[in-house]
Amino acid sequence: MLASVESASLLGVEGHAVRVEAHTSNGLPGYTIVGLPDTACRESRDRVRSALLSSGGPWPNRRTTVNLAPSGLRKVGAGLDLAMAVALAAAEEHVPVESVEGLAFLGELGLDGSLRPLLGMVPLAAACGGRPVVPAAVLAEARLVREDALGASSLGEVLAALRGDQPWPVVPEPSLQADRVVPPDLSDVLGQAVARAALEVAAAGGHHILMSGPPGAGKTMLAERLPGIMPLLGDDDAMEVTKIHSAAGRLGRGAGLVRLPPFRAPHHTASMTAMVGGGSTMLRPGEVSLASGGVLFLDELGEFPAAHLDALRQPLESGRIAVSRAAISVDLPARVLLVAATNPCPCGQLGFGRCSCSEPQLARYRRRLSGPLMDRFDIRLGVGPPDPNTAFSSRRAECSAAVSERVLAARIRASERGVTANRSLRGEALRRAAPLDPAAESLLRDHLQRGLLTMRGADRCRSLALTLADLRGQDAPLDRELIGAALMLRGGETACAVPA
């Protein structure tokens, strides 16, 4: 007998439809799985056998072949267990073959027949053509993309429903919760007017920002408040971010779509795989992908290995990161707003106090950050100690809600140009959106001729000036004042003590 059911397998953060075919025939008893299964998938034989027998189902004492199609797609993990068990039950006529039509089965089996949750249920359910049948514990995740998804707690419940012995179980769903993490408010930052303004520009235009200053100046405090002034994610972006967090196992029960821009702050000791994603068996998203749609904060930038930082250069421009292994490769989202913080020198006091570092120490410290990486930062800001008088002032600074209104207005203007943020404008689209008046063009050309800017840097200054104009409600063309302000934010008098 032959039976086939639908399922899906996870690669990176995307689900891929899989058809599980089971064939039983006369011959020496044996069980073979074909179709590029990994080790966990091949080990399903014993899990499926014990689960079927524990649930009152049959185990064919004949020659059995299970094919996972398409055969060229690598199948990873134990997520195909339920589909294999249902296909075998249908092949042995324990359930009607027609009862599995229009359904897709996702879940790992315990030896007692229980259904266990899977990582990546959101992208897996989205990849299914049929109505997904999933473990009850992750039914809420599946219903984020498939409202018709069914849930069950055990293989026995699934088989009984397919035979018509009982209806599909009614699984009580947890109430979907909004984002429970409330980002800290910008009003907590005392003083630092220039840094606050730069943070607003970064949020409005999606511009990467590097802050340099002595320890305790408030660099980390500023970075942590950036998600609170960024707009909430739209439907498409929220779905993409939710898929990423689902694939990484970071969605809480009843979490709902991720609307708040993520904030990730990996430690400088994180491995390359933890940063960019990958793994020896399952290719999972790294910190760069987990921050997609939000903020990636690299504190103590100079302490990160040079290879880790250079691996970010291409994703910062393209918004995607390709992770390749010998047998498989995946393309992961990496649309991040990069915020980095560093000390200006090993002792942290260069330019802000009495520096005790020698010239060789300063030279070694500057070499930690490559020029091409530095060129990706649109804003390079010196953050000094705040005025002591502000620490005891009873006057509160402007709150995140007020700043976010201006940021949202600037993002709306950017959306009218066909992009989510001005930093995404390239080439002719940027030239059309940000024409220069003669004085502004002369200033930008002068910096190019003197070697103070690369061509990419000139484009970034142009988009930065466009963001400043959007925040002011000013229309094109861009004038010399806007270009001058953009040049100052990129390097001028507020430049960090790192290579430009």
Specify if 500 maps to a domain: no
Shared-domain flag, residues 306 and 391: yes
Distance CA 164, CA 426 (A): 59
Distance CA 245, CA 256 (A): 11
Shared-domain flag, residues 279 and 144: no
Shared-domain flag, residues 244 and 124: no
Specify if 132 maps to a domain: yes
The tokens for 210 are 């590097």
Does a cis peptide bond (omega within 30 degrees of 0) precede residue 29? no
Shared-domain flag, residues 90 and 227: no
Distance CA 207, CA 80 (A): 42
Distances (CA, A) of 94 to 63, 111, 160, 389: 17, 19, 10, 79
Shared-domain flag, residues 262 and 378: yes
Range of the domain at 52: 2-163
The pLDDT confidence band at residue 254, using thresholds 50, 70 and 90, is: low
Shared-domain flag, residues 197 and 145: no
Specify if 472 maps to a domain: no
pLDDT single digits (tens) 83-113: 999 999 999 999 999 999 999 999 999 999 9
Shared-domain flag, residues 344 and 415: yes
Shared-domain flag, residues 410 and 294: yes
Global confidence as pTM: 0.89
pLDDT single digits (tens) 282-319: 788 999 999 999 999 999 998 899 899 989 988 998 89
State whether residue 204 is helix, strand or coil: helix
Which residues make Cβ contacts (< 8 Å) with residue 166, sequence separation at least 6? 157, 160
**DSSP letter for each residue of 212-231:** E--TTSSHHHHHHTSGGGSP
Res 200: pLDDT? 95
Distance CA 54, CA 343 (A): 62
Shared-domain flag, residues 351 and 238: yes
Q: Looking at residues 18-35, what average pLDDT do you find?
A: 92
CATH number at residue 157: 3.30.230.10
Specify if 499 maps to a domain: no
Shared-domain flag, residues 281 and 244: yes
Specify if 344 maps to a domain: yes
Question: What is the chain's alpha carbon radius of gyration, rounded to the nearest angstrom?
Answer: 28
Specify if 47 maps to a domain: yes
Distance CA 144, CA 498 (A): 46
Please check the confidence at residue 160 and state whether its pLDDT lies above 50: yes
Question: How many residues are recorded in the chain?
Answer: 500
